[in-house]
Structure 1
Amino acid sequence: MKAIGYIKNGPITASDALIEFEAETPEVGARDLLVEVRGIGVNPVDVKVRTNMAPEKGPKVIGYDAAGVVRQIGSEVSKFKVGDEVFYAGDLTRPGTNSELHAVDERIVGKKPKSLGFAEAAGLPLTSITAWELLFDALRIKEGEGKGESLLIIGGAGGVGSILIQLAKKLTGLTVVATASRPETSEWVTKMGADHVINHRESLVDQMKALGLQPRYVASLTATDQHYSAIIELIKPRGHIALIDDPLSLDIKLGKQKALTISWEFMFTRSMFQTDDIEKQHALLNRVSELIDDGMLISTVTNNLGKISAETLKAAHLQQESGTVIGKNVLEGFFN
């Protein structure tokens, strides 16, 4: 089968940063689906892995978002059948989705939204899982609750922020404040449903005071180390911070006087460690699919870069590295 990967980690500008090659068809485990990939999404994790993780042997295939059609099922599969249309974010410990065929554990797979094409559906899984787990698992907010409290989302215009804003507005009573620094990103987070937009290049503390809001919850999706002192100052006592990025250092003692809780969200944890509750990702993806088809959530895809190839995938990685992507970039699969 065709696949796209890399043979040496490094910059995307290298001539062999991403190459197309022939790979073996994946082996299908007892709980696995073999999926014909019809669409993929591109995320910051793709860039991080390609830049920092050297292949152990042969080209390394990355890609952590896909939508496609089930072509084969393992002996113990119970949730899907051949011909089903699915979407999912994959597993960091297994080969990625930038290939014609991909094997994935059924317990982290959901039914593709009927109202979306494959490429557009592929823009949702990783960010939806991250946002859902951050809101309901890490911050421990319950559906229907949160009225009278506010959530500050730092980095609201990216893929995770775009779906997190929607989940918070549609499924909780929270007032949502999202940060954005450009006119186009401010317009985007407003479209996603944010109640207020503030500029993360200016004082977060002053802007929140001007709104008359002191958040109990903060979701820091980017540049946590730059905004950490401001977060500590502006958050309510006994508040809760959840983050997904990789600050070089984080002094949690600064949160002691306010008795703050600090949580990490990493959507690959359940698949990496085969946790007892791994099937929660199957359930939440099915719920997101239903919410999309019911019109309660909207697509966060802003750019379809065409059919996947080494060149189009390089272009997607370049855009991701620029730090200016709004929402999600996607590509059509090899079979389209």
Structure 2
Amino acid sequence: MQAIGYLSRVDHPDSMGLVAFEAPAPEPGPGELRVRIRAIALNPVDVKMLARQPERASTPVVLGWDAAGEVDAVGEGVSGFRPGDRVWYAGAVNRPGCWQQLQRVDHRIVGHMPRTLDFAEAAAMPLTSLTAWEMLFDRLRIDPSEDLGEPLLVIGGSGGVGSLALQLASRIAGLEVVATSGSEAGRAWCLDMGAEHVIDHHGDLVAGYRAQGLPDPRWIFCITHAGEHGPALAELLRPQGAIGFIDDFADAETINTLKRKSAGLHWAFMFTRPLYGTRDMARQGQILDRVAQAVDQGVLRTTLRGEPQPFDLDALVAGLGAVAEGHGIGKRVLLMP
């Protein structure tokens, strides 16, 4: 089968160290599916994991965590899936990724794809849906039955995770959502995704938020530039509220302010459940099934942006370069041959 993996940034500097190669088809073990991948999406985690690779690897390391495809084979002990099922998933960061035509994946973190989406539209959603859902409902513990109309501030609303967070918060949780963006195109995208207010995160966040005439936010979901925005977010957060981060953050001033407010401080790392094999690992498959249902009901929509490109070395390198710049809106997708 065809695959792309990291081998050596020294020997292959023009392709970020990536090489195309032929690999044997993997056999699914107990509890696993073998998925024939039809489309993959690109994420900042791909760039981060690529940067962490050694100068040279002994064999190509396959990365990538966002896929949609069809079940090709089923391992022993698997229930709920059969060959031919259309599925989507993000995968596990400690196992080979989806930059290959066939992939082994634990069936507990796989969901059934929305019936109303094609593979490209579906591939844009798993990792970001899981990240946003886990932060809003598992970490911040927002309750749609009790928290209707409460304000949520989302820092970085136009990227992949932000696009899903805005949809989930506004259309499922019923919150009043304030997003930030740094461009007019991003502002329009945030409004389309469900934000009721959009402020410029290049300006004064505290003044920009309070100009909306809203109570201070009960929750803040900071998706990007946590170190830059931390003090302002701690000032804005309502006492006894909660703030969640997905990027690295360690600012003593911000943490001390949150302490005085008896505020909750949370991280959401989408790979925690599969990485540690937690007892609730199957929740990821359940979340993806619930997201698929919401898509098919017209509540949620894909965040695919632009025309999908073919999966090859040139397109992958170009796509990763664009993701690394950090100014994208929505998601980039590549179609597997």
TM-score over 0.5 for the alignment?
yes
The aligned residue for residue 278 of structure 1 is 281
TM alignment of 1:124-163, pairs within 5 A: 124-163=125-164
- How many residues are paired up? 334
Cα offset for 1:13?
A: 5.9
CA distance in 2, matches of 1:11, 1:197: 45
Structure 2: which 5+ runs fail to align? none
Cα offset for 1:99?
A: 0.3
Q: Is the 8 A contact 2:9 2:18 kept in 1?
A: no
Cα offset for 1:307?
A: 1.2
Q: 2:219 aligns with which of 217, 220, 223?
A: 217
* Farther off after superposition, 9-18 or 171-180: 9-18
Cα offset for 1:8?
A: 2.5
The aligned residue for residue 175 of structure 2 is 174
One-letter amino acid matched to 2:22: E
Q: What is the SS of the residue equivalent to 1:177?
A: strand
CA distance in 2, matches of 1:128, 1:183: 24
Q: 2:237 aligns with which of 222, 235, 238?
A: 235
Q: 2:256 aligns with which of 237, 253, 256?
A: 253
CA distance in 1, matches of 2:297, 2:149: 27
Cα offset for 1:119?
A: 1.4
Q: Is the 8 A contact 2:15 2:317 kept in 1?
A: no
Once the two structures are superposed, what CA deviation does each residue of 1:75-102 show, in whole Å capped at 9, x if it has no partner?
A: 1100100111100001101000010100
The aligned residue for residue 45 of structure 1 is 45
Cα offset for 1:9?
A: 5.1
Kindly tell me: are residues 310 and 249 of structure 1, through their superposed partners in 2, closer, same or farther at Cα, counting changes over 3 Å? farther
The aligned residue for residue 116 of structure 2 is 115
Once the two structures are superposed, what CA deviation does each residue of 1:164-212 show, in whole Å capped at 9, x if it has no partner?
A: 1000111113110000110100000000010100000011110111112
Cα offset for 1:50?
A: 0.6
CA distance in 1, matches of 2:74, 2:310: 26
* Farther off after superposition, 263-272 or 12-21: 12-21
Cα offset for 1:146?
A: 1.7
Asked whether 1:299 is paired with 2:302, we answer yes
CA distance in 1, matches of 2:260, 2:213: 22
Q: Is the 8 A contact 1:90 1:108 kept in 2?
A: yes
TM-score normalised over the length of structure 2: 0.95
The aligned residue for residue 30 of structure 2 is 30
CA distance in 1, matches of 2:327, 2:231: 25
One-letter amino acid matched to 1:318: G
Kindly tell me: are residues 71 and 218 of structure 1, through their superposed partners in 2, closer, same or farther at Cα, counting changes over 3 Å? same
One-letter amino acid matched to 1:314: V
Query: Share of identical aligned residues, percent?
Result: 44
Q: What is the SS of the residue equivalent to 1:285?
A: helix
CA distance in 1, matches of 2:303, 2:4: 25
* Farther off after superposition, 85-94 or 111-120: 111-120
CA distance in 2, matches of 1:61, 1:314: 14
Structure 1: which 5+ runs fail to align? none
Kindly tell me: are residues 194 and 233 of structure 1, through their superposed partners in 2, closer, same or farther at Cα, counting changes over 3 Å? same
Cα offset for 1:304?
A: 3.3
One-letter amino acid matched to 1:100: Q
TM alignment of 1:260-271, pairs within 5 A: 260-271=263-274
Asked whether 1:197 is paired with 2:228, we answer no
The aligned residue for residue 4 of structure 1 is 4
CA distance in 2, matches of 1:325, 1:12: 26
Cα offset for 1:16?
A: 5.5
* Farther off after superposition, 19-28 or 256-265: 19-28
* Farther off after superposition, 272-281 or 250-259: 250-259
TM-score normalised over the length of structure 1: 0.96
CA distance in 2, matches of 1:50, 1:191: 32
Q: Is the 8 A contact 1:12 1:317 kept in 2?
A: no
One-letter amino acid matched to 1:264: W
Cα offset for 1:257?
A: 1.1
Kindly tell me: are residues 12 and 299 of structure 1, through their superposed partners in 2, closer, same or farther at Cα, counting changes over 3 Å? farther
One-letter amino acid matched to 2:286: A
One-letter amino acid matched to 1:198: I
One-letter amino acid matched to 1:225: G
Cα offset for 1:132?
A: 0.3
Asked whether 1:320 is paired with 2:314, we answer no
Q: What is the SS of the residue equivalent to 2:179?
A: strand
CA distance in 1, matches of 2:27, 2:192: 43
Cα offset for 1:303?
A: 2.3
CA RMSD of aligned residues (A): 1.6
Q: Is the 8 A contact 2:109 2:284 kept in 1?
A: yes
